[in-house]
Amino acid sequence: MNESKSPGNLRLGVNIDHVATVRNARGSSYPDPLRAALVAESAGADGITAHLREDRRHISDGDIEKLMSELSLQLNLEMAATAEMQEIALRFKPHAVCVVPERREERTTESGLDAISHEEHLKEITRPISEQGSRVSLFIDADPLQVDAAVRIGAAVVEFHTGAYCDYYFEKRRSECERELNRIREAAAYANALGLEVHAGHGLTFETVAPIAKIPQVAELNIGHFLIGEAIFLGLESAILNMKKLMVEARKK
């Protein structure tokens, strides 16, 4: 086992996908995801996440080009493990590339990537991306076996899927919620001990973020859908400021 790493301050990556979802609903040029990214930066976001789906249902290739050329924050490009997406990542050279599972019929990412079953394919997709200088992350469930596969693949980062924990919370299924939270805690400690940087995300809200933010090995949270939705009521800057405040307070405790 490698020596564990201290993650330091907890970072917030703001996912701007659903700004593009609203834009695409009318086929217009607004609202602009780049403008949302710039607002996020002014509100204290530490990075921007954008998922370029194969069907381009929200973020487009043009969005990625604009973000790469005009954004001062680091871009985390989420993508499926396909040759097309590999070529795009190699062309744009984002700071980080997070490989996620993707199915055309799903509304959103439903679970973590099965790194065990697709280990060799993931190596082929991610090795050139890593060699060009982008940090490779795998979006996986909080499972030590998946973490082991991520190490073998050569990922620098694992991001744990927090969707089930959030669902159990809002369904008031307390025992399942606590069990899932414990799984994330244990997997974070395990991944950190192996030398991986640990991120988490999916479905996090003002109500659910604190227990995840308290996990000392977690270095970054990626949050999007909730913040964009909350922006309707609070404004995007206020939503991000509130989320950062909750994260900082939880980490201090």
What whole-number distance in Å separates Cα of residue 164 and Cα of residue 208?
A: 11
State the catalytic residue, choosing from 58, 161, 199, 202. Answer: 202
- Note if 51 is an active site residue: yes
Q: What is the four-CA torsion angle of 78, 108, 20, 205, rounded to 10 degrees? A: -90
Token couple for 18: 């659903």
Give the up-direction half-sphere exposure of residue 137: CA atoms within 13 A in the CB hemisphere.
29
Q: Which residues pair with 158 in a beta bridge?
A: 138, 198
Which among 51, 58, 161, 199 is annotated as catalytic? 51
Separation of alpha carbons 167 and 27, rounded Å: 32
Has 207 been annotated as catalytic? no
- 220 catalytic? Reply is no
Q: Which of 18, 58, 78, 102 is catalytic?
A: 78
Q: At what angle do helices 225-234 and 17-26 cross, to 10 degrees?
A: 70
- Residues recognised as catalytic: 51, 78, 202
